[in-house]
Amino acid sequence: MGNLRDVLSPFTAWKHLIETPVTIRNPIGREAADGYRGFHQNDIEKCIGCGSCEVICQNAAIDMVPVSAPVDGDSGLRPKIDYGRCCWCALCVDVCMTGSLTMSNEYTWVDADPDAFRFIPGVDPKPWDDMEKGYRREGARVLTGAERVEMGELPPEARIDNFDEIVVGYTREQAMIEADRCVECGLCVATCPAHMDIPDYIAAIREGDYDLGLQILYETNPFSEVCGRVCTHKCETACAARHEGDPIAIRWLKRHIVDNVSEDRRLEIVGTPQALPTGRKVAIVGAGPAGLTAAYDLARQGHAVTVYEAQDKPGGMMRYGIPEYRLPYDALDRDIAVIAAQGVTIKTGVRIGREIAMDKLRGEFDAVVLSIGLHIGRSTRIPGTEGPGVEAAIDLLARITAGEEVPVPERVVVIGGGNVAMDIARSMARLQKRKHGAVGVTVTALEDFAHFLADREEIEESFDEGIEIVDARGPQEVVRYKSGKRKGAVKGLRTWAVTSIFDGQGRFAPQYDQGDERLHPADMVVEAIGQAADVSILGEDLTEALEWTRGRLAVDPAGRSSEPWLWAAGDAVHGPDVITAVADGHRVAASVGAMLMAMGEVAR
């Protein structure tokens, strides 16, 4: 029986003859699943050309090719994919820092030209460019770290009555984790004014090789300890990681390297000039970041450099403008010590234009570099600004640094919304806390918070310290007591509300609501609006002889003025921060150095 069943049973297969065939007659045009990994799409506006896709592709199917001019935070490169190599693993999609790279669910593409299958998604138009379906990374990117390691800070109550440094700095473990997030795209290098080799020094942190890290820092920046604390870190706004996550804490990582190399070791690593003395002399006016950077470079080239500084100590705005709680003076001193160790002579307390005329420098030196910064505080010149009780922020900050007695009334109003305004507000708050036991600072800014000039962290920290910040207020008058015992003394600042500050083109065009008038009570008003360079030190003749461009000394791209012996660098010509000044210092030093070399050739 069993045997008979074994013979008959197989014939049941015949029932399939009358079933509908399951074969898809024409598979061309069959739609793939919603999440199919088909042909690539790239949102060209969103893509920043960081090249992480190129790096992760194990088939080397992706080449980054130029399609537009590079701008900050966008290399102008876009991925070109070779479908002769691609395996559609979609790691490029998963690693994409902006989420611009995706895949459509299209999978048929017929072309007689084999070269057509190398294409730039989003640039070379394709039928699947706008398809909604296809592989999308599920959720946030996980292949590279998205969240920044939080930086430790002194809590407000511990810092408000002193000038101790607020930022604690990373531990090695923290730095390692933060350094690990870097994808080494180098967008930051292009954006950094000094083009610091950021990915490489971050890599040095990952390797735990702090000596190497320091060496890399010094290749482009002799003020790494300073910049590790107060740099405006434009690099972080270009960082690929800022899309769909926090930018790498590049500034803190830089500081971390310097924090981990002792001062002695630092001098050992940087060393002293290896070039033979050239016998050429260079005078530098102003011992700020631009002047000292130029001095460092020129000294290392073998030239004899003398830096003249009007203040009692070198450092310029880094010392006299930036409060100690952001940049401790000993950190600055350590950077300057390395520069001085190159044989640079720094003469402090010498005001060029007063004690020594520019002409004298011209006679005694082969070249002169003017790096005087912006030490004149602008005034709004609204009614009431003339007279006692109204101060310029920049003067007050310098006097605080110099240890001079400054007026510390119970109520202070600051005009301005930039970092200088925050610096003076927070410095005054500390002094008030010490003297009166309470903070009484109000900052009034023309800009609303959406357009604030000061860094976000400065604003937040100011709030934490009990400082009142009133945005979108236009100062109208410093009101003074008209009679009584306090006649003539400051009573407060009268302001109007600003309804809009910029026009459609983003140009300054303030609109006021005069109905919304306020008097901010104050015993002192501090103006922290703009700053200007004191070009009067040049003297009338030189001023007249030099070429100017829209208020500033005209210099060529290398920083040379219209007078062949004079170069200018730093805030006074380029601005407005330490790292730009450092970059400027390098540029000028290169130009001066080239001229001195040429002089040497001629002499020989």
Nearer to other proteins, 191 or 380 (CB): 380
**Residues binding other proteins: what is the number (CB under 8 A)?**
78
* Shortest spacing between CB 52 and other proteins, in angstroms: 7
Q: Are 523 and 390 contacting, i.e. CB atoms less than 8 angstroms apart?
A: no
* Shortest spacing between CB 401 and other proteins, in angstroms: 19
Q: What residues form DSSP beta bridges with 101?
A: 42
Q: What residues form DSSP beta bridges with 236?
A: none
**145 contacts other proteins (rule: CB under 8 A):** yes
Candidates 184, 244, 246, 333: give the one binding other proteins (CB under 8 A).
Answer: 184
Sign of the CA dihedral with 45 first, then 49, 55, and 59 last: positive
**332 contacts other proteins (rule: CB under 8 A):** no
Q: Are 258 and 317 contacting, i.e. CB atoms less than 8 angstroms apart?
A: no
Nearer to other proteins, 182 or 344 (CB): 182
Question: β-strands 508-521, 376-377: how paired?
Answer: unpaired
Candidates 100, 144, 174, 224: give the one binding other proteins (CB under 8 A).
Answer: 144
* Shortest spacing between CB 95 and other proteins, in angstroms: 7
Find, among 343, 350, 330, the residue nearest to 286 by Cα. 350
In whole angstroms, give the CA distance from residue 299 to residue 282. 9
Q: Which of residues 35-74 bind other proteins (CB under 8 A)?
A: 35-37, 52, 55-56, 58-59
Find, among 464, 453, 592, the residue nearest to 531 by Cα. 453
Nearer to other proteins, 88 or 210 (CB): 88
Nearer to other proteins, 453 or 489 (CB): 453
Can you read off the two tokens belonging to residue 454?
A: 């000061």
* Shortest spacing between CB 370 and other proteins, in angstroms: 13
* Shortest spacing between CB 501 and other proteins, in angstroms: 9
* Shortest spacing between CB 202 and other proteins, in angstroms: 10
Question: β-strands 412-415, 441-444: how paired?
Answer: parallel
Determine how many CB atoms are found less than 10 A away from the CB of residue 276.
7
**133 contacts other proteins (rule: CB under 8 A):** no
* Shortest spacing between CB 566 and other proteins, in angstroms: 14
Find, among 534, 582, 585, the residue nearest to 217 by Cα. 582
* Shortest spacing between CB 7 and other proteins, in angstroms: 5
Candidates 44, 91, 350, 470: give the one binding other proteins (CB under 8 A).
Answer: 91
In whole angstroms, give the CA distance from residue 244 to residue 142. 11
* Shortest spacing between CB 91 and other proteins, in angstroms: 6
Q: Are 599 and 282 contacting, i.e. CB atoms less than 8 angstroms apart?
A: no
In whole angstroms, give the CA distance from residue 540 to residue 534. 13
Q: Please choose, out of 73-81, 175-183, 188-196, 261-269, the segment that lies near other proteins by the rule CB under 8 A.
A: 175-183
Can you read off the two tokens belonging to residue 535?
A: 């070009």
Q: Are 345 and 307 contacting, i.e. CB atoms less than 8 angstroms apart?
A: yes
Q: Please choose, out of 108-116, 305-313, 357-365, 508-516, the segment that lies near other proteins by the rule CB under 8 A.
A: 508-516
Q: Which of residues 510-539 bind other proteins (CB under 8 A)?
A: 510, 529-533, 535
Q: Which of residues 217-256 bind other proteins (CB under 8 A)?
A: none
Q: Are 214 and 257 contacting, i.e. CB atoms less than 8 angstroms apart?
A: yes
**471 contacts other proteins (rule: CB under 8 A):** no
* Shortest spacing between CB 180 and other proteins, in angstroms: 5
**Long-range pairs of 145-150 with CB within 8 A, sequence gap ≥ 24:** 145/177, 145/180, 145/181, 145/241, 145/245, 146/181, 146/241, 146/244, 146/245, 146/246, 147/245, 147/246, 148/178, 148/181, 148/245, 148/246, 148/247, 148/248, 148/249, 149/174, 149/175, 149/177, 149/178, 149/249
Nearer to other proteins, 103 or 249 (CB): 103
Nearer to other proteins, 202 or 429 (CB): 202
**142 contacts other proteins (rule: CB under 8 A):** yes
Element (H, E) at 394: helix 393-401
Q: Which of residues 337-376 bind other proteins (CB under 8 A)?
A: 374
Q: Are 307 and 344 contacting, i.e. CB atoms less than 8 angstroms apart?
A: yes
Q: Please choose, out of 30-38, 39-47, 290-298, 476-484, the segment that lies near other proteins by the rule CB under 8 A.
A: 30-38
Task: Provide the CA 209 distance to its chain's centre, in angstroms.
Answer: 25
Token pair 């631009």 in the structure block, residue: 290
Candidates 44, 65, 131, 143: give the one binding other proteins (CB under 8 A).
Answer: 143
* Shortest spacing between CB 547 and other proteins, in angstroms: 9
Q: Which of residues 425-454 bind other proteins (CB under 8 A)?
A: 446, 453
Candidates 195, 347, 362, 378: give the one binding other proteins (CB under 8 A).
Answer: 378
Q: Which of residues 268-307 bind other proteins (CB under 8 A)?
A: none
Find, among 266, 249, 275, the residue nearest to 149 by Cα. 249
3-state secondary structure (DSSP) of residue 281? strand
Q: Which of residues 530-589 bind other proteins (CB under 8 A)?
A: 530-533, 535, 540, 543-544, 546, 548-553, 571-576
Question: β-strands 345-348, 390-392: how paired?
Answer: unpaired
Q: Which residues contact 207 (CB under 8 A, 6 or more apart)?
A: none
Nearer to other proteins, 53 or 282 (CB): 53
Candidates 5, 482, 487, 604: give the one binding other proteins (CB under 8 A).
Answer: 5
**183 contacts other proteins (rule: CB under 8 A):** yes
* Shortest spacing between CB 563 and other proteins, in angstroms: 13
Nearer to other proteins, 57 or 338 (CB): 57
* Shortest spacing between CB 550 and other proteins, in angstroms: 5
